[in-house]
Amino acid sequence: MGYEHLQLRRRRHLLAALILAPAAAAALALTVAEVNNGVRRARRPSATALPLADAMAEGDLRSAYAAIAGGLSPNDPIPAYRPDLTGESAMLVSPVLWAVALQNRDAVLMLLSHGARLSDQDRRRAACLARELGNDDIARAIAEYGGGTAEPPDCAVDPADVRPPLVRWSDAEAGSR
């Protein structure tokens, strides 16, 4: 009786341990993971540490928004540099035009949703740049949500001008300021 009872107890304990183990392991693992997450979040530099131009270039929309929420006007020119877009030197460019050059439609919509205001000239340049880059989606977004009329802009360019499209349109922008 005593031996059988002991055997039954051991079998029960084995079975109970095997059934309990996953729940205990999951509870422990989740607790560790959540605490670890919290610590990592607390140690991570704030999202605003990433400059707006870089955040948009990396497709990090939250950081891009954080830069604006941190006080940067979405209408002020920002320094940007990427050789294939800006040529060999950094340049000042409006955030919307930079987002268009990056062909980042979500960044364009984010800027328009959170304070970017386009003059007729800005809108024309952004739409023309999008078209020149072959991105009709962005051109449509600019036309629909950038304010003003939805009429297609005149995007005639000087065929002799072989500079990157952003530089060309941005230059024109600088000329108008």
Q: Can you tell me which of 15, 49, 157, 174 binds other proteins, judged by CB under 8 A? A: 15
What DSSP designation does 161 have? -
> Does 33 interact with other proteins (rule: CB under 8 A)?
yes
CB nearer to other proteins: pick between 29 and 174: 29
Q: Can you tell me which of 6, 26, 39, 174 binds other proteins, judged by CB under 8 A? A: 26
* CA gap 142, 124 in Å, rounded: 9
CB nearer to other proteins: pick between 26 and 174: 26
Q: Can you tell me which of 72, 92, 109, 172 binds other proteins, judged by CB under 8 A? A: 109
* CA gap 27, 94 in Å, rounded: 49
CB nearer to other proteins: pick between 6 and 157: 6
Q: Can you tell me which of 39, 49, 90, 113 binds other proteins, judged by CB under 8 A? A: 113
Q: Show the binding pattern over residues 137-176: x = contacts other proteins (CB under 8 A), - = does not.
A: -------xx-------------------------------
Site for other proteins in 38-97 (CB under 8 A): 41, 46-47, 59-62, 65-66, 69
* CA gap 138, 36 in Å, rounded: 40
What residues form DSSP beta bridges with 93?
78
Which CA distances in Å does 118 have to 39, 80, 171?
41, 19, 17
Q: Can you tell me which of 2, 3, 4, 19 binds other proteins, judged by CB under 8 A? A: 19
Output b/e per residue, 97-126; b: 16+ Cβ within 10 A: bbbbbbbbbebbbbbbeeebebeeebbbbb
- If binding means CB under 8 A, how many residues of this protein chain bind other proteins? 41
* CA gap 4, 90 in Å, rounded: 83
